[in-house]
Amino acid sequence: MTDEISKDRRIKKKRIVLLLILILFVLFFLFFKQLYKNPNVTISSDVPDGEFAKKLSSNELEKYLQDKADKNYMRIQMNPSMLLNNERVLSLKLVNSPKNVYAVRIVTSIEGEKEKIYDSGLVEPGEYVEKGRLKKELDRGIYKTLNKVMYYEDERMLVGQSNLKGQLSVPV
C-alpha cells in the first residue's frame, strides 16, 4: 500500500512539474512574442484638426504645408552698414517681410561693449524702418557693430534670436 501511495505521489509530482513547465513555457512564449512584435505605427500628420491628407485637395494641402513652412522661415532684409548723418539721424534699412509670422526687433551695440546704441522696437510683418536715433552720442569714426535680431510671437514672447555683424559710420 505504501508503494501505491508513493507511486501516486510521484505521478502527482510529475504532473505538477509538467504543468509548471508548461506554464513557464507559455509565459516565456508570451513574453518574447510581446518583446519582438512589430511596433505600433503612429501616423503623425500636420493636417488641420486631425483630417487625413487625402481629404484635402492638392491645392489646399499645398497651401497648408506652405503656411506651415512659412512659420519656420524668417525673411528679413537689413543693411548691416548704418550711417549717421549731420542731423544725427541714423540711416538704416530694415524690412520685415509680409510673409513672416513673427515681429522682429533689432538691438545694436558697439562690438565688445554691452551698452545698446540703437533699438528698433517691434517691427511687425510687412513693416520697415529706414531711419532712427542713436541712444548714445558717438565720436566721429567707423565702428564695428553687433546687431541682435530677436523674433517675437507677441510683444513679450521671444521665440528666437540671431546676430548680425555690421558697421556704423559717424561723420564729423
Residue-wise DSSP of 83-95: EE-TTSPEEEEEE
Do residues 150 and 123 make contact, with C-beta atoms less than 8 angstroms apart? Answer: no
With cut-offs at 50, 70 and 90, classify the pLDDT of residue 1.
Answer: low
pLDDT in tens, 17-39: 999 999 999 998 888 887 777 66
Which amino acid does the sequence have at 140?
A: R
With cut-offs at 50, 70 and 90, classify the pLDDT of residue 138.
Answer: confident
pLDDT in tens, 116-134: 999 999 999 999 999 999 8
Residues forming a β-bridge with 48: none
Do residues 152 and 104 make contact, with C-beta atoms less than 8 angstroms apart? Answer: yes
Residues recorded for the chain:
172
pLDDT in tens, 139-172: 899 999 999 999 998 878 888 898 989 999 998 6
**Model confidence, pTM:** 0.58
Check residue 99 and give its pLDDT: 82
In this predicted structure, the answer to whether residue 3 has a pLDDT above a threshold of 90 is: no
57-61, 133-137, 141-145: the lowest-pLDDT one? 57-61
With cut-offs at 50, 70 and 90, classify the pLDDT of residue 78.
Answer: confident
The residue with greater pLDDT, 172 or 105, is: 105
Nearest to 83 by CA among 118, 111, 115: 118
The mean pLDDT of 43-49, rounded to a whole number, is 54
Extents of the domains making up the chain: 1-36, 75-170
According to CATH, the topology of domain 75-170 is Immunoglobulin-like (2.60.40)
Check residue 53 and give its pLDDT: 47
Per-range mean pLDDT, top range of 17-26, 35-44, 82-91: 17-26
